[in-house]
Chains A and B, each alone.
Chain A
């Protein structure tokens, strides 16, 4: 059964304090791993797709990496506007849908 576990559930950082969010997954075969950002009262917003182990993608202060069992979302020198819930989702080979984790709620304190 597909499974996605995100940790920690919540993370508080001081502005400028870098850290990483974790997404561990179990799928029969990985078609793709997705990261989304969700702000309160809004729908998730797409950040990255990773397809194979060793792949990395970057966008501003965010960098996503992928291994065969987990993905990390690294946040470098975060700002208060990076505060949001970050969701990880996987798509298994042959599947027509994504399976989401429960997210990490990030708060960046000025």
Chain B
């Protein structure tokens, strides 16, 4: 089944404790992206990747890192999480960045205390 898989689904952590949210897709998509979703603000892009070893900042990149060493994986790294990063995070992928529908994972709900 074609899908984008994120782990974990739920994560509670403390301020400053490094964490990684994994994302994997099995559709051989070139484009991958991370979004956060907050009430009243909608989905906002954090980082995206056009292909392996190519990443770029989205609209809200501060406090986040990503890497794209393999085509299928696109982990999101929070090196020193803060409470304002408490949010619902979605990974998405598509064939290209050009008019190609995004396929989303089921989200990771992160709480930073």
Contacts and interface: CB of A to CB of B under 8 A. Distances in A.
The answer to whether A binds B is: yes
Interface of B: 4, 31, 33, 35, 40-45, 48, 50, 56, 58-59, 90, 92, 97-99, 101-107
Interface string A71-100: 000000000000000010101000011101
A21 to B, nearest CB: 15
Contact of B103 (A42, A46, A51): A46
The 7 A-B residue pairs whose C-beta atoms are closest, nearest first, are: A43-B104, A46-B101, A100-B43, A102-B42, A96-B97, A32-B99, A100-B42
A98 B99 CA distance: 9
A4 B44 CA distance: 12
Given A43-B4, A96-B56, A97-B58, A49 B99 contact: yes
B35 to A, nearest CB: 8
Nearest to A45: B104
Given A43-B106, A49-B99, A51-B99, A101 B42 contact: yes
Contact of A96 (B40, B50, B107): B50
Interface in A48-68: 49, 51
Contact of B106 (A42, A49, A98, A100): A42
Given A89-B43, A100-B42, 5 more contacts: A46-B102, A96-B48, A97-B48, A101-B42, A103-B42
Nearest to B45: A97
A31 B98 contact: yes
> Which interface residue of A34, A89, A98 has the most chain B CB atoms within 10 A?
A98
Contacts of A89: 43
A31 B4 CA distance: 25
Contacts of A100: 35, 42-44
Nearest to B58: A97
A44 interface: yes
A41 interface: yes
B104 A44 contact: yes
Contacts of A43: 4, 90, 92, 104-107
